[in-house]
Structure formats: structure tokens, C-alpha cells
Amino acid sequence: MRATDSTGDGFAGHVFADPGLLEQALTHRSAGAPHNERLEFLGDAVLGLVVAEALYARWPKADEGSLTRARAELVRESALAAVARRLEVGERLVLGPGEMKSGGHRRDSILSDALEAVIGAIYLDAGFEACRRVVLSLFEDAVSAVPASKVGKDAKTRLQEWLQARQKPLPQYELQAEAGEEHARVFVVRCVLSDPEAAAEGEGGSRRAAEQAAAAGVLELLGAAE
Amino acid sequence: MRATDSTGDGFAGHVFADPGLLEQALTHRSAGAPHNERLEFLGDAVLGLVVAEALYARWPKADEGSLTRARAELVRESALAAVARRLEVGERLVLGPGEMKSGGHRRDSILSDALEAVIGAIYLDAGFEACRRVVLSLFEDAVSAVPASKVGKDAKTRLQEWLQARQKPLPQYELQAEAGEEHARVFVVRCVLSDPEAAAEGEGGSRRAAEQAAAAGVLELLGAAE
């Protein structure tokens, strides 16, 4: 993204039909109303959806927990601030004199909020699809760069790696029950660790699914689900 | 919403081009893959945006904090479960035998997740605008019913009401500083409570804006920001 894409009534290639929206999005609350906080609320939601969908499409096997964690990482304050710096948002921000003196235009929180506000402004200016294209242009590299280790791996694999990294013994998966008719079989598996001591049960329509559920349960106990 | 809107390949008035998406959205993980957890991740984001925009439009004066709290209330698990019950989601859910026996189709968490998954499925099936219309039809009454006391009031008003409800003395607003050129004035105001003892400073481009910021700071100290 070249800085030339983001001058005057334009931002990241989008030219505003209503330049007042862009102006508001770039106005910090310290400079008085109308400032960008409401637009930030809206933009945060747009960004959340666009990144959610991009991850959903990019990682067809990733479970919900992995997708949630990957998204949180992509839209965390420092990541958004980095995008905002690339777009030279700081140079265009309108701040109150106090914030200006204390270097507010370089602060992660202010830059990240302003970027979200601009996304909200583009959404209001041009609708979801146009805004989605802009957001994807800003975030698709980051989405593509999410390592498979974060989202591509199932719970059993992640549990195994967690244990190996700590030179701990591998888990035991014990079939606890198997019931139901042929077409609606249910399996209950218990995943047991000896060190650290932990165990959880999982249920599923196949033995493998039940093992995955049990491993996910143990990962949660370990606080290693992330 | 009549139950007849939600039979076969239809849900809340939307008829699926790809009925497999609806089927997946109504399949709990206990019934095996493909289940609805990934769709729930997507639907949660769609719902978040649609409700955010509806609140943004409905309450043009509400600040970001109020909007955030109002949305959290509208999309909390029990509220979503109530919508899911209205649409008879429980009757259509596919659960594993274990969840079936333990009454999973009546559980708030399972119903709420399934509703989000169906919203995600409609988004994939028909795009944002179509999904937005369905979500609004389900939530517009709830959005309209958000009381003004939650979102319509500014921080000074909310602080005053909080104190009056507890028969406490009203706050003092003290101008601490006033600086800057004519066109870029900055005000610093301190909001002071005597009982409970609390104080916070706020800054703004007008005295009133600085007072609002200071009151918001005190509300946060009181844990009464919600």
C-alpha cells in the first residue's frame, strides 16, 4: 500500500463519497466531538467479520478455538497499529493539544483505534462488500502468514507437541464406552496424562472424534489451548 | 416468526440454496463431523456486526462504551437461546446420543451456538446483505427495546443518576487547566466525589467534553460504567 493511496479523501485506495466520515474517523476524542469512538465500535465489528471469514476459508480444517485465537492475534492492538503506521495514519490524525504534545499520534492504542474507525467509516460510506475488499487488501498477507502450527493442527497433535516440548510422556487414550445403533454410534474416550497428572473425557461419533474431544479437554486443563 | 418459516431447507424465512449448510449448522459436535462449530465462529462475527450497526444507527448519541455493553446484552447466551427457542431450533438439532439423553437440545449454550451457526450458514449461502436482513428480522425488536438508560445517556448523567440512586452528594467538576490557541483549545477538568471518595481527570476540546471524560473516568472507578 503506497502512501499516495491515502491522501485527501482517500484511504487505502478507497475514495470517500462522504469525506466527513473520513475526517471523523481520524479525529481522536481529545480533539473534541465528533470524534472517532463510535466509528471505531463499528469498524471493530466489520474487521472481526472480514478476518473471521478469511481465516475460515483459508483453514478449512481448523477448529473454532484455533480460528478464534488466530483472529485475536491478527487484530490485536499492536498488529493494527503496524497496519496503521504503514498507511501513515499517525500523520493524518487530529489530536487535542495534550495528546499531541505527549506523542499520541505514535501510540499503538490511538493508531489501532483510528484504523478501526476508518474501517467503520468505509463501511458506512460504501457498504460491506467495498469495505471487505479494502480490509482484505490490508490483512490478506497477515492471514496467509498465520502458521499452520496455530490453526492447522488438531487437538491430539497439539497436545502431543505440548508434551514433547516439555519432554513429558505421551497421553493414553482409553475407550470408556461405545454405544448406540450402527448408524448412530457414540464413543467415549478418556485421555490420561501421567505427568502432569490430568485427564478428560471426550465423546464423539467415531473413536477418533472422541479422542480429539478428550485431547481438547486436556489441553484446556493445561491452559495450553492457545 | 412462525415455526412454518423454519422447516425443511428453510430457516427464519431464508431458503437455503445449499441445504447441506443448514444441516451442518444444526449438527452438534457430539453427533460427529461435519458439525457446527466452525459455522458458529463465523456466525458470531456476522451477528456482532449486524447488531453493532443496528445499535449505532438507533442510538446516534450513545458512546462506544454504551454501545459495547448494549450489544453484549443483546447477544448474550441466554438471549440467543431465547431466539433459538422461538425458532424451534432445539427440535431440529442433531445431537449425539449422550447429549440427547441429557437434554442437550434444551441447553442454552447448545441452542445459542446453533443459532450462531445457522447465521454463519446463511452468510455463506447468500452473502452479507441477505444474512443481515434475516438477523435484523430476528433482533430488531430487541434492539428497539434497549432502554435509553443503557445507551442514551452521557457519562455525566449516568454518574448523577448512580449517585442519586444511592442518596450520595453530587460530583464537583473543577477546571484544572485551559490551554492552547483559540482554534485548538484544550480543557482539563477534575471530577471529584466526596462519598464514595473518588476523583478522575478528563481532557477535551471544550469544558463540557472534558467534564464528560472526567465523569466517565469516575464511573469506571466506581465499576458503574455498565
**Interface contact B45-A41, CB threshold 8 A:** no
B44 counts as catalytic: yes
Task: Read off φ and ψ for residue A61, nearest 5 degrees.
Answer: -105, -5
* pLDDT tens per residue, range B16-49: 999 999 999 999 988 888 999 999 999 999 999 9
Confidence of residue A23 (pLDDT cuts 50, 70, 90): very high
**Gyration radius (Cα) of chain B, Å:** 23
Q: What is the C-alpha separation between B33 and B37, in angstroms, rounded?
A: 10
Q: Where are the domains of chain B?
A: 3-151, 155-222
**Interface contact B205-A64, CB threshold 8 A:** no
**Interface contact A67-B204, CB threshold 8 A:** no
Option in A45, A56, A96 nearest B49 (CB): A45
From chain A, the residues in CB contact with B96 under 8 A are 184, 186, 203-205
Option in A49, A64, A184 nearest B46 (CB): A49
From chain B, the residues in CB contact with A129 under 8 A are 128
* pLDDT tens per residue, range B124-153: 999 999 999 999 999 989 998 888 767 767
Fold type of domain A155-222: Double Stranded RNA Binding Domain (3.30.160)
User: Beta partners for B172?
Assistant: B192
Mean pLDDT (chain B, rounded): 89
Nearest to B51, CA basis, from B144, B153, B127, B126? B144
Q: What is the ipTM of this complex?
A: 0.73
Q: Taking residues B208-212, report their average pLDDT.
A: 87
pLDDT at A5: 53
Fold type of domain B3-151: Ribonuclease iii, N-terminal Endonuclease Domain; Chain A (1.10.1520)
pLDDT at B3: 41
Q: Is pLDDT at A225 greater than 60 in this prediction?
A: no
Q: What is the C-alpha separation between B4 and B11, in angstroms, rounded?
A: 9
Out of A1-15, A71-85, B166-180, the most confident range is A71-85
Residue owning grid cell 496424562: A193
Helix segments in chain A, DSSP class H: 19-25, 37-58, 64-74, 77-86, 89-92, 97-101, 108-126, 128-145, 148-151, 155-165, 207-222
B155-222: same fold as B3-151? no
* pLDDT tens per residue, range A161-208: 889 889 999 999 999 988 877 767 888 999 999 999 999 999 887 888
Option in B68, B186, B209 nearest A33 (CB): B209
pLDDT at B65: 85
Q: Is pLDDT at A152 greater than 80 in this prediction?
A: no
pLDDT at B4: 42
Helix, strand and coil content of chain B, in percent to the nearest 5, comes to 60, 15, 25
Residue owning grid cell 485551559: B178
C-alpha dihedral (B16, B17, B21, B22), degrees to nearest 10 = 20
Enter the DSSP assignment of A171: P
Confidence of residue A2 (pLDDT cuts 50, 70, 90): very low
Burial class (CB in 10 A: 0-12, 13-18, 19+), B166: exposed
Out of A60-64, A195-199, B112-116, the most confident range is B112-116
**Interface contact B56-A42, CB threshold 8 A:** yes
Q: What is the C-alpha separation between A222 and A216, in angstroms, rounded?
A: 10
